[in-house]
Amino acid sequence: MHAAPTAPVPAQHQQLLGKLTGILNDLEPIQKKLLELYEQKSQALKQVDPERIEQLAVIEEQLTNTLQFILLRRQQLLQTAEQLGLPAGSLQELLPGLGLGIEVSEPIAERIEVVQQRSQKLRHESWVQWIVAQRSFQHYSQILELIAHAGKKTPTYSGGQNENGSGGAIFDASA
């Protein structure tokens, strides 16, 4: 005969709830710090302050690494829930599956909703700043090209300028 599981299902659900709460407790301050950082970075971009942007990029990388670790923990939690036969598509789906009652799950569901909204804001701000950086790089490249060519734009297709008379050894039979 097989031995019965050592922990009853409700204890497993309580353990999952503890992990879920721990993830939220770690995630919320990181998201808030990232939002503050993105506000500072936005100001630095507007003021064209490359030193400040670079300082903020280092902090952003550290926060992003921490965020990735938290997301890994989230993924592990959802995998564990799936192995137990619980809904595991998201934290929002998992919570009702734990069967903990409204008084326990409702405040946590509200926290999950706030975390999701904050995540949307972070994604949006990150995207906006990426676009600004790409456009700035494009304009910077165009300015450098104008400087390099004495203020004249180089033609996309040259009209015979800077072309050699021969086509190269492979294509030129006369070589």
**Residue 142 domain-assigned (yes or no):** no
Q: Which residue has the higher pLDDT, 149 or 47?
A: 47
Taking the C-alpha atoms of residue 108 and residue 92, their distance in angstroms, rounded to an integer, is 9
Q: Are 115 and 28 in contact (CB under 8 A)?
A: yes
**Distance in angstroms (rounded) separating the CA atoms of residues 96 and 161:** 71
Note down the domain range covering 104.
9-117
End-to-end Cα spacing for the chain? 87
Identify the sign of the CA torsion 27, 29, 32, 37: negative
Residue 75 lies in a domain: yes
Q: Give dist(CA 64, CA 38) in Å, integer.
A: 12
**Using CA atoms, how far apart are residues 71 and 50, in angstroms rounded to an integer?**
30
Whose CA is closest to 53, among 38, 67, 32? 38
Does any domain span residue 146?
A: no
Q: Among 99-103, 124-128, 149-153, 155-159, which stretch is predicted with the lowest mean pLDDT? A: 155-159
Is residue 129 situated within a structural domain?
A: no
Q: What is the mean pLDDT of residues 38-51?
A: 92
Contacting residues for 38 by C-beta, under 8 A, at least 6 apart: 122, 125, 126, 129
Q: What is the mean pLDDT of residues 155-160?
A: 64
Asked if residue 145 belongs to a domain, the reply is: no
The C-alpha torsion from 53 through 54 and 55 to 61, rounded to 10°, is: 100
Q: How far apart are CA 175 and CA 46, in angstroms?
A: 56
Residue reference for tokens 């959802």: 78
Question: What local confidence, expressed as pLDDT, does residue 6 receive?
Answer: 38
Q: Which of 39-53, 126-140, 154-168 has the lowest mean pLDDT?
A: 154-168
Count of domains for the chain: 1
> Considering the entire predicted model, what is its pTM?
0.72
Condensed to tens digits (0 to 9), the pLDDT of residues 1-20 reads 444 443 444 788 889 999 99
Report if residue 143 sits inside a domain: no
Asked whether residue 106 is assigned to any structural domain, the reply reads yes
Averaged pLDDT for residues 53-79: 96
Residue 160 lies inside a defined structural domain of this protein = no
Q: Is pLDDT at 81 greater than 50 in this prediction?
A: yes
